[in-house]
Amino acid sequence: MLKPILKTLIALLFVSAALSTNAYAGDDFGSPEEKAAEWTTWLSNKVGLTSDQYNQVYNIYLRYAQQYKADKEKKSGKIKGGFKSYRKKANEEIRPLLNADQQKKWKGK
């Protein structure tokens, strides 16, 4: 009696793992607005952005997140380097917006 139950449990574990992987794989990025907010909030927590800096940084991240999404759709979801390469480009634009103290706290990450 224990063997059929154990086999069923193992099968359910594999099925649930497969389903959760497929659901995530289709949407590893989220919306551009969510990603821009996530990146901006992270940076703000790290270096202490002013409200003006926060808005400027958000707009830069949003532009690159939108570009990533558009490029991903054009290339059937395959972008070399993923969204990290887009974030790196955005960071290059953001660095000059930060004062010296903020740049030290950030260290380009």
For residue 2, give both structure tokens: 């224990």
d(CA 105, CA 48): 9
pLDDT tens for each residue of the chain, 109 residues long: 556 654 554 544 554 554 443 333 344 567 999 999 999 999 999 999 999 999 999 999 999 999 988 888 787 666 666 778 888 999 999 999 999 999 998 885 4
| 8 Å CB contact between 95 and 108 | yes
Report the predicted TM-score, pTM, of the whole model to 2 decimal places. Answer: 0.69
